[in-house]
Structure 1
């Protein structure tokens, strides 16, 4: 039986959890200040419908923050020293810990093939550099976000239907700028853009981009592995974010003063000194692009690019005709809907435990089992249709929203570097069309438009960098 040595200080503190079934509880802070100097956090981690198969897996992105009088301070994790604690001498199911190079958190996932609910006791070692005596005695908060691992590999841009190019779809150009097939992304090398044979190109239209390039080698294209939030950012997650940042920052990040906010799916309110989400699992709306970037920065994550959006939605296969992320060109089977109460739900009482490669059109899930890449709320992405977007290099946030990343196209800095993909649900009285609520993968009618902030149908989803060497995995 494994034993845990009692530390010099053991501090028990409250539960921290996020929506979509992921829960973190029974948190203990182990500070060995007088002996080895190590600092550990032990907690129970649960979420539903986890999986690992031959293709990919889901994971919990776990990060830590020390509470302070003027907002929480982000804590880095150590590069190694993390483990699963085997309770009651039972056989441990096996956990994999993936620590990205930035060490702003870590991914926790099944080590071997698995399908079902997980309930693990986890021990994480924190980085001790910069921890003074106060922080060694103050228990950190623990946060978690469910992510999906998108594996390294080639994929394609485009659509087999020529009509898709009228909606900004990418294509391989001939020598005159006309469509000549799809574009295959088989590396992270720079991509030529223009009306030249073999280059990436798209028709000129309002809101699709400047038709310029190249797309630099440093721009994340989706060929290399990365992580993506399984679900869009929720109102519960955003309320947790607001409760963690400095009070002065909440004045610019809480955009809930419009008369129709609560009539259009918004549920966040301020009670005393705490932000509360009435519907914590409802997708976050009425947020600006910069609000989304602030959340990503706070969580140690980053925005996704529109090429990563395509990779996560389509997978390695070739483009079809007007295909959605679930692999068909229609929405007849989909049961993932916004119901009459404005809640995103599964009709007919379906459970995600029934999600598999054959039921993707029912659950509205992508090739990699990412949910809601079409429908729900619009996905905001870094566009390749502007110089500000193409300057993005994939840097992640450091947990401090006051230190901005130079490569991120913040609107308040006058940059125009994002666009919209995937479609979104507006309201109950609006008929369905090409962009409401579901939009095919390749359609990018607004793929280069950086306007339209704080709207009922616009949301956000974070990406995360995988470790530079995914073969160096620490399992237990």
Structure 2
């Protein structure tokens, strides 16, 4: 879907603020009518296929909302802190606003059991930023809530699998040894996020439009480290490849000025008018290095997930099934970008006959004409978990499409303590959270559109020793909080 942004200067103070207007859309989240008054920022939000379920999986979806503000003198975008007091925020029915302890955003979700589309609903959030004259952008990322509780990791036959054990409150409180875990693992301390505690996970993999939005709030120097093509390149130059390859249409819309003015990025999969309706905005973002992924997550005030959290989000509290896939069965049906309806539109779907275990994997070749599909493309109003290829809690595309970079239970990843991103990057565009591991502490889970079925399995750890930092056409990711 297209993202349109209109900015008007606003003077922020404890007394008054002029109007700032931002209209944004990411996946099917629509944010519009933004205005700043005093210390409050107001907007309308809507999204599709929302739920709050009382029966299993007894969870809900939400939108992680955060705000960026630009100093009109320095032109730098910064992350806005929000009040950590729930009563300082208001959301019209059927929504409620849940603040977080670090003030980096809020979760908007249903306040009561129900399901269906969220109509345009008024929201007001309290800002906590210095006085000044600013431009504003409001961002929204769809999430699913993964409930606290016991679950199982490992199976009996996947490659480098964990031992088939239960993860309980004692596991999280006391840590686990390499003997407990098996699978060429190392000891992990209690601070390591094992998946027992509740967390939110992005409902979809990062899309190409979301990555463009990220780039468009960075400085020229920061941008240069988050793409392959120099931001000074001509309009129409593709950002990650020398041309339109692997279905990655991220492109330069307006060239930057070397070291001074950042470029403007957008989606241009059909090469012509950028950000047209058929420019692949909702295709999963591929070609991401570990540094690219964690920089995006730090900017969004999220964090990387661990491989144990991946298994929790896939399997939920259900008993393990040997060689199962993230949708909870051993059935799998291959789809790929060579057979599509409404290609590159926000309604893009596979034209493969719908069956259980729909998954974008096992393309005929790794040719540059193939690539990932629109995020969540197998889900519709009538699909169930199996036909949608969904994890237990409703996260889409955990198997196939792009391989997801996660933190591994290995020597490089075991010290990870779950610290969240703070919304800010280094001056050169890298994540600035000291406790986050480098690529040696990462691996991929879920397999990609190129991989065979083995890589897609929930407990498979074939990539445990493939801690590749480089950008590859098969790798992407998502974040948690």
Shift in CA distance, 377/228, structure 1 to aligned 2, threshold 3 Å: same
Shift in CA distance, 258/113, structure 1 to aligned 2, threshold 3 Å: closer
- Counterparts of 1:316-331 in structure 2, within 5 Å, are 316-331=317-332
CA contact (8 A) 1:346 1:363 kept: no
Aligned to 2:149: 153
Aligned to 2:405: 380
Separation in structure 1 between the aligned mates of residue 372 and residue 241 of structure 2, nearest angstrom: 20
Unaligned 5+ segments in structure 2 are 1-14, 230-238, 255-262, 269-279, 334-354, 364-368
- Counterparts of 1:148-227 in structure 2, within 5 Å, are 148-159=144-155, 162-164=156-158, 167-171=159-163, 182-187=164-169, 188-195=172-179, 199-202=180-183, 204=184, 211-213=185-187, 215-227=188-200
- Secondary structure in 1 aligned to 2:313? helix
User: Which one of the candidate residues 5, 26, 31 is aligned to 1:24?
Assistant: 31
Separation in structure 2 between the aligned mates of residue 453 and residue 67 of structure 1, nearest angstrom: 32
User: Which one of the candidate residues 264, 276, 297 is aligned to 2:266?
Assistant: 276
Separation in structure 2 between the aligned mates of residue 345 and residue 236 of structure 1, nearest angstrom: 11
Separation in structure 2 between the aligned mates of residue 372 and residue 452 of structure 1, nearest angstrom: 22
Task: Give the Å deviation of 1:227.
Answer: 0.5
Aligned to 1:304: 305
Moved more, 444-453 or 306-315: 444-453
Separation in structure 1 between the aligned mates of residue 206 and residue 401 of structure 2, nearest angstrom: 11
Shift in CA distance, 462/261, structure 1 to aligned 2, threshold 3 Å: farther
- Counterparts of 1:352-371 in structure 2, within 5 Å, are 352-355=380-383, 359-371=384-396
User: Which one of the candidate residues 336, 339, 344 is aligned to 2:373?
Assistant: 344
Separation in structure 1 between the aligned mates of residue 396 and residue 51 of structure 2, nearest angstrom: 14
Superposed CA offset, 1:416-443 (max 9, x none): 11011111013xxx8x4423xxx11001
Separation in structure 2 between the aligned mates of residue 258 and residue 124 of structure 1, nearest angstrom: 36
By relative contact order (CA 8 Å, sep 6+), the higher-ranking structure is 1
User: Which one of the candidate residues 448, 462, 468 is aligned to 2:479?
Assistant: 462
* 2:455 maps to 1:447: no
CA contact (8 A) 1:70 1:245 kept: no
- Secondary structure in 1 aligned to 2:19? strand
- Counterparts of 1:188-267 in structure 2, within 5 Å, are 188-195=172-179, 199-202=180-183, 204=184, 211-213=185-187, 215-256=188-229, 262-267=244-249
Aligned to 1:104: 104
| Aligned residue-pair number | 397
Separation in structure 1 between the aligned mates of residue 453 and residue 389 of structure 2, nearest angstrom: 17
Superposed CA offset, 1:326-372 (max 9, x none): 1110114244548997562599x9752224xxx21110101111101
Separation in structure 1 between the aligned mates of residue 126 and residue 445 of structure 2, nearest angstrom: 38
Aligned to 2:70: 67
Shift in CA distance, 97/434, structure 1 to aligned 2, threshold 3 Å: same
Separation in structure 1 between the aligned mates of residue 472 and residue 245 of structure 2, nearest angstrom: 12
Unaligned 5+ segments in structure 1 are 1-6, 32-38, 86-91, 172-181, 205-210, 465-476
For normalisation by structure 2, the TM-score amounts to 0.78
For normalisation by structure 1, the TM-score amounts to 0.79
